[in-house]
Amino acid sequence: MFSRQTNVDRPTDAPRAARRLATASKQGPEDARRANRSLLLRALHHGGPTSRADLAKLTGLTPASVSSVVRDLLDQELVEELGTRTAGGVGKPATLVGIRPDSRYVVCLDLSEPDQFLAALVDLTGKVVVRRSYARNERTGRRAETLVKRICDELVADADRPLLGIGVASPGIVDDHGTVTTAAHLGWSDLDLKARLSAGVSVPVHVVNDANAAALAELVFGAGEAQNLILVRVDEGVGAGLVLGGALFTGNRSAAGEIGHVVIDEHGEPCACGKRGCLETVVSEPLLGKRLGADGADEADVLGHAGGRLGVALSTVLGALDISDVVLSGPASVTSETFRNAARDEIAARTMPNIADRLLVRPSTFGFDDVLIGAAALVLDRELGIH
């Protein structure tokens, strides 16, 4: 699971603590082996090719445990030996071990775009190997679900490598079990998408909210140390993915980051939710496109106003959580310097200097592919423990 909570056990929490201890005591050798495998794969994913001896130092595992797990990973072709290290040290040169990028593919779907569904085969390093797009043609409800199922079937059939799993990024609220609780733009409500897709394939299926997927892409594949960030995803609506302490935070009901219906102007435009002045009435992709395309529109004014309104909505969240890394995901208008600067200026004006002075408002590392790559990151975490 991505969401992690830290609780302090009080006297009244003794039964809960006892249950946790009982669960831990039931873990057998296979659980320990799985945990060790994840530990080694994470070290190789983030650190690159490494010798067995250095893996033991990095992970704290015994040399015998490292050798045993590496042997299993070699048998499964998840890792490969990459020759000897040529520089430094004395004695016999150490053989380097690294993740084999093309040993598995992940089928990834991005359902967040207004006019099309995107799909890809992605390798273990986050590289897009095959890319497809499918016209949505305003499909909603069962018709949209049928199209998603067809896309999965086609990508599974076309894969020329073993599949690690299928990752689907959907707009709306998605719970930890893969049910789309609500996705208004797709006409979905309480749709157990994971179960529906799993019925026709022989590989694991995982489903996540699109903004959370884009945040996972930064966490798992990003170049920086993305331990605390908020990623704002702008498409038909507006949502955010929160990474806190190196883990995705989804909240009590999987609705963390649902900022699109935060009211920023109570006298503003009517919103589809029934309120007035929601963030989505100012910042969503269709509305920005319409305003930028209007006769006499001033691009700097349109983007500056929208970016500023987003900054207003984010300032309280950033101040409360002490986050200074803001990532913007969406069309070029949203990732533009004008939009980003307007958001940054508004946040800086409304937060304490210790946040404003460190504030970075940046475009997504992976641009248009961030949701697809995030869907792959989800599968890598759930199946291999890489995060």
Three-class DSSP labels, 86-135: CCCCCCCCCEEEEECHHHCEEEEEECCCCCEEEEEEECCCCCEEEEEEEE
> CB–CB of 230/362 below 8 Å?
no
Q: What is the pTM of this model?
A: 0.88
8: pLDDT confidence band, cut at 50, 70 and 90? very low
What does DSSP assign to residue 13? G
- pLDDT of residue 9 exceeding 80, the answer is no
> CB–CB of 191/256 below 8 Å?
no
- Distance, CA of 248 to CA of 240 (rounded, Å): 11
Backbone angles phi, psi at 227, to 5 degrees: -85, -30
Backbone angles phi, psi at 110, to 5 degrees: -115, 110
Q: What is the pLDDT of residues 11-56, one digit of tens each?
A: 444 454 444 444 444 567 788 889 999 999 999 999 999 999 999 9
> CB–CB of 221/373 below 8 Å?
yes
Instruction: Sketch out the chain's domains with CATH numbers.
Output: 28-99 (1.10.10.10), 103-215+370-384 (3.30.420.40), 225-364 (3.30.420.40)
| Residues 6+ positions from 135 with CB-CB distance below 8 Å | 115, 116
- Distance, CA of 337 to CA of 315 (rounded, Å): 19
Backbone angles phi, psi at 250, to 5 degrees: -115, -5
- The answer to whether the Cα torsion of 157, 163, 165, 169 is positive or negative is negative
* Between 10 and 163, the higher pLDDT residue: 163
**Averaged pLDDT, 83-105:** 83
State what percent of residues in the chain have pLDDT above 90: 77
Q: Bridge-partner residues for 163, per DSSP? A: 105
* Between 32 and 133, the higher pLDDT residue: 133
- Position 4 scores a pLDDT of 40
Q: What is the pLDDT of residues 279-335, one digit of tens each?
A: 999 999 989 999 999 999 999 999 999 999 999 999 999 999 999 999 999 999 999
Residue 298: count of CB within 10 angstroms of its CB: 12
Q: What is the pLDDT of residues 208-255, one digit of tens each?
A: 999 999 999 999 998 766 789 999 999 888 999 999 999 999 999 899
- Position 185 scores a pLDDT of 87
- pLDDT of residue 10 exceeding 90, the answer is no
200: pLDDT confidence band, cut at 50, 70 and 90? confident
- pLDDT of residue 385 exceeding 80, the answer is yes
Nearest Cα residue to 30 out of 77, 68, 75: 68
Q: What is the DSSP pairing of strand 205-209 with strand 163-170?
A: parallel
- Position 273 scores a pLDDT of 83
- Position 237 scores a pLDDT of 87
Exposure string of 344-374, with b = 16+ CB inside 10 Å and e = fewer, is: bbbbbebbeeebbeebebebbbbeebbbbbb
**What counts of helices (H) and strands (E) characterise the chain?**
14, 16
Q: Which tokens go with 53?
A: 């001896």
Residue 276, SS3?
strand
- pLDDT of residue 87 exceeding 90, the answer is no
118: pLDDT confidence band, cut at 50, 70 and 90? very high
- Position 349 scores a pLDDT of 95
- pLDDT of residue 90 exceeding 90, the answer is no
- Position 86 scores a pLDDT of 63
State what percent of residues in the chain have pLDDT above 70: 91
- Give the C-alpha distances (Å, rounded to integers) separating 252 from 16, 115, 256, 304: 18, 31, 8, 34
- Distance, CA of 372 to CA of 234 (rounded, Å): 15
Q: Which tokens go with 192?
A: 């157990």
